[in-house]
Amino acid sequence: MNIKDSTALATHTVTTAPGSIRIDVSGYADANRSIAIDQDGKIIVGGLTQYLAWGYPGAPGEESYGYEQNYSAVRLNTDGSVDSGFGDGGVNIVPAAYAPEVLGERTLVQADGKVLLALTLDDSVQLKRFNSDGSIDTGFGDEGVATFQISHDFKDPDLKVLSDGTLVFSARGPETTSVYRLNNDGSLLDSFGDQGKLLLNTVDDPYYRVGTVGVADDGSVVIGSWNHEASNAPLYVLQRFTSEGKLDTGFGNDGVVSFDVALGLEGEVQMAVQTDGKIIVAGQTADDALTSVFRLNADGTFDTSFGGGDGQVVLEFEQAMSLAVQQDGKILLAGSDDRDLNLVRLNEDGTLDSGFGSQDGKHHIDGYLGDEVLQGTGVAEVVDGHAGDDVLQGNGGRDLLQGGAGADIFRFAELSDSYRTATQNNSDRISDFDASEDRIDLTALGFSGIGNGHDGTLAILASADGSRTYLKSYDVDGAGHRFELALNGNLLGRLNETNLVFTAPTLEGTSAKDVLTGSALSETILGLDGNDRINAGAGADVIIGGRGADRLEGGDRADIDILFDNAENADIFRYTSVEDSYRTDTRSLVDLIVNMTVRDKIDVSALGYTGFGDGTGDTLKMVYNAQLERTYLQNTEADTQGHKFQIALEGDWRESLYDSNMIFASQERVTLVGVTTVADEQHSIG
């Protein structure tokens, strides 16, 4: 029996490579919104982080679960490593007073970790600032709120924090844009424009919209407008205005630089003005996975010292959501890559800064405190679970796997995950395998057990100096690959078929009232007798409650599996006898299945039921009890002991439970186990 503390632990995953870093803050979707750099050069990445607000993914019904968002802040050291002294391991979640990122709202996280929110009202922009604990910052504006009247039509405020700590927001209209510059306390910076405000006349063309605003140290302003309609006009236009608000005719062609369609920019761009007046522009290309970065001289010409001599660099990077230039001229881009925060840093000349992110030139995937599933890619990586009961799966590449503290599972899903050929060594290495609690999951590879390395077995050998232990197969597949895995140390005599998992293990209770919790392995869990509580954990599990009124739960619910129709972690709730879950006219020993997903299945084939119906013969009737919010599957005919088979499911499954969720007996099999053909009066529920 495995009893496990269910207390939720803080968790985030960090993936680093030379020049880049990706952060999964909470396991759900993260969206970047800002970059700020403090006086020490540390980098604050601000954004929005989803959390599951109600229900669970895979629950029945169209609106059975939902997400809301909090603000998130991640602080990095100057080299791109996570600053563990900030927040919880480098990450701070700022509770939102309401679900952020509504229409007409912009957010950023300042260098001190405070969150600034810009709201669009009918004729004004309202700024609110929150402390890192989510409380209102009464030191900003009027008790945390600063409101600015706008004299023209506008929408979509743009919000930025500059390198000197001052704040800039713009109210962007079709022909006129207002730019405000504020002190850190929310008051207007009198030295900017007209007592903190500039009113600028932008492109007078209905097809152009103001996309972003950049402010230089000297108070001049660069405004970017993009053509949102297909036409022969330039796709993107930059205008520069003096600190007095006049069009700077020394920039481009009478104050205007036009980007041709051939340059490949699509939609809005991000922009930053360097201390020397040069302008960085970054935007998505027609290929969603690529970003173009340009640098212009102060006069609007392309800076040929940047990139390949044409002033342009193209990166494998999804759309940049924020852009910042450090004091040393290095360029930071942030976006949201595959639901995570993603950053890349360029040197001043546009080359990738290989000293940012990974410090040893290798690819790293690092967990934190929680129970995490860490998935590698096709390159060689160092995968480190740190604390928690983690699952580490290197996938392709010659990986180094480090479980850290906790009972970890090292999973190999394909032979190509760790192999050797006659000429190539591509085997993974586990650096800290603890034979007393860690396990190696080999269930997907088809090996039968420990042996001589032939005929489906794995041999266990140690190196001559005892520094390595190897799991080896000597039989090659069609590609010439044979499985091989190295482990640090001499583990001869300590590796067995408990910690080397070849087939789905069985977790078995007793005849008493048990609490059984599965692991991330795909397991068969037997409750046996007693009123058991079973949580199967992750994996595709088979759950057999046995006798007694059991509470059964499939376990972890990964929303990505539901969204992409992935049945990999689908569970089976199996019934082998009417005695497993039944009621009489006076007594109920009915199982309750909680948190079942639309991918899970209920197996009643051993009982002879062949489908849904009126609950007589070999059919099961579906009944919903609104008061208890439970759906019942029941047979209304009692056996010779007066037992009527019945299962309860948490929630309303009337429109979500189909034959595909059931494993019924074939139509030819109609004899029910332990059920008489004499029908009792139907029992009514609720």
User: Is residue 563 within a helix (H) or strand (E), and if so which, with residue range?
Assistant: helix 559-563
Average pLDDT rounded to a whole number, residues 332-353: 92
Query: pLDDT (tens digit, 9 = 90+) per residue, 315-338?
Result: 998 888 999 999 999 999 999 877
User: Would you say residue 270 has pLDDT above 80?
Assistant: yes
Q: Tell me, what's the pLDDT at 458?
A: 98
User: Would you say residue 342 has pLDDT above 90?
Assistant: yes
The percent of residues in the chain predicted with pLDDT above 70, rounded, is: 92
Q: Tell me, what's the pLDDT at 232?
A: 63
Q: 186 with 146: CB under 8 angstroms? A: yes
Locate tokens 């948190």: which residue? 595
Coil/strand/helix, residue 579: helix
User: Would you say residue 4 has pLDDT above 60?
Assistant: no
H helical segments located in 592-686? none
Q: Please give the structure tokens belonging to residue 492.
A: 């001869």
Average pLDDT rounded to a whole number, residues 87-99: 86
How far, in Å, CA of 95 to CA of 76, rounded?
21
Q: Please give the structure tokens belonging to residue 309.
A: 């001599």
Coil/strand/helix, residue 262: helix
How far, in Å, CA of 271 to CA of 222, rounded?
9
How far, in Å, CA of 536 to CA of 552, rounded?
8
Average pLDDT rounded to a whole number, residues 536-558: 89
The percent of residues in the chain predicted with pLDDT above 90, rounded, is: 70
Rounded to two decimals, the pTM is 0.87
Q: Tell me, what's the pLDDT at 10?
A: 62
How far, in Å, CA of 199 to CA of 215, rounded?
14
Q: Tell me, what's the pLDDT at 640?
A: 92
Q: Spell out the residues 6+ positions from residue 218 whose beta carbon is closer than 8 angstroms to its own.
A: 243, 277
Q: Tell me, what's the pLDDT at 207?
A: 74
Q: Please give the structure tokens belonging to residue 104.
A: 């007409």
**Could you write out the three-class secondary structure of 568-587?**
CCCCEEECCCHHHCEECCCC
User: Would you say residue 680 has pLDDT above 70?
Assistant: no
For residue 371, count CB atoms less than 10 angstroms from its CB and return exposed for 0-12, middle for 13-18, buried for 19 or more.
buried
How far, in Å, CA of 616 to CA of 184, rounded?
73
- Residue of higher predicted confidence among 392 and 61: 392
User: Would you say residue 7 has pLDDT above 50?
Assistant: no
Q: Tell me, what's the pLDDT at 556?
A: 65
Backbone angles phi, psi at 263, to 5 degrees: -75, -15
Coil/strand/helix, residue 402: strand
Average pLDDT rounded to a whole number, residues 493-513: 95
Query: pLDDT (tens digit, 9 = 90+) per residue, 10-43?
Result: 679 999 999 999 999 988 899 999 999 998 999 9
Locate tokens 């600034």: which residue? 116
Q: Tell me, what's the pLDDT at 667?
A: 74
Instruction: Categorize the per-residue pLDDT at 104 as very low, low, confident or very high, splitting at 50, 70 and 90.
Output: low
Coil/strand/helix, residue 470: strand
Mean pLDDT value across the chain: 89
Instruction: Categorize the per-residue pLDDT at 672 as very low, low, confident or very high, splitting at 50, 70 and 90.
Output: low
User: Is residue 44 within a helix (H) or strand (E), and if so which, with residue range?
Assistant: strand 43-54
Side-chain half-sphere exposure of 106, counting CA atoms within 13 A: 22
Instruction: Categorize the per-residue pLDDT at 679 as very low, low, confident or very high, splitting at 50, 70 and 90.
Output: very low
Q: Tell me, what's the pLDDT at 211?
A: 80
How far, in Å, CA of 370 to CA of 638, rounded?
47
Average pLDDT rounded to a whole number, residues 559-583: 75
Weakest mean pLDDT among 288-292, 508-512, 638-642: 288-292
Q: Between β-strands 115-120 and 124-130, what pairing exists: parallel, antiparallel or unpaired?
A: antiparallel
How far, in Å, CA of 335 to CA of 287, rounded?
15
Average pLDDT rounded to a whole number, residues 1-6: 32
SS3 content of the chain, % helix, strand, coil (to 5): 5, 40, 55
User: Would you say residue 9 has pLDDT above 80?
Assistant: no
Q: Estimate to the nearest angstrom the gap between the alpha carbon of 583 and the chain centroid.
A: 43
Coil/strand/helix, residue 236: strand
Can you give the length of the chain in residues? 686
Q: Tell me, what's the pLDDT at 561?
A: 40
Going edge to edge, which strands form the sheet with 124-130? 105-109, 115-120, 124-130, 145-149
* E strand segments, 403-456: 409-411, 419-420, 425-426, 428-430, 439-441, 449-450
Residue 365 zone, left/alpha/beta (φ > 0; ψ -120 to 50; rest):
beta
Q: 109 with 71: CB under 8 angstroms? A: yes
Q: 259 with 234: CB under 8 angstroms? A: yes
- Provide the 8-state DSSP code for 543: E
Q: Spell out the residues 6+ positions from residue 443 whose beta carbon is closer than 8 angstroms to its own.
A: 501, 502, 503, 504, 521, 522
* E strand segments, 134-251: 145-149, 155-161, 167-172, 176-182, 197-201, 208-215, 221-227, 236-241
Amino acid residing at 541: D
Q: Tell me, what's the pLDDT at 26?
A: 86
Query: pLDDT (tens digit, 9 = 90+) per residue, 423-482?
Result: 999 999 999 999 999 999 999 999 999 999 999 999 999 999 999 999 999 999 999 999
Weakest mean pLDDT among 220-229, 522-531, 642-651, 663-672: 663-672
Q: Tell me, what's the pLDDT at 233?
A: 66
Q: Tell me, what's the pLDDT at 669?
A: 52
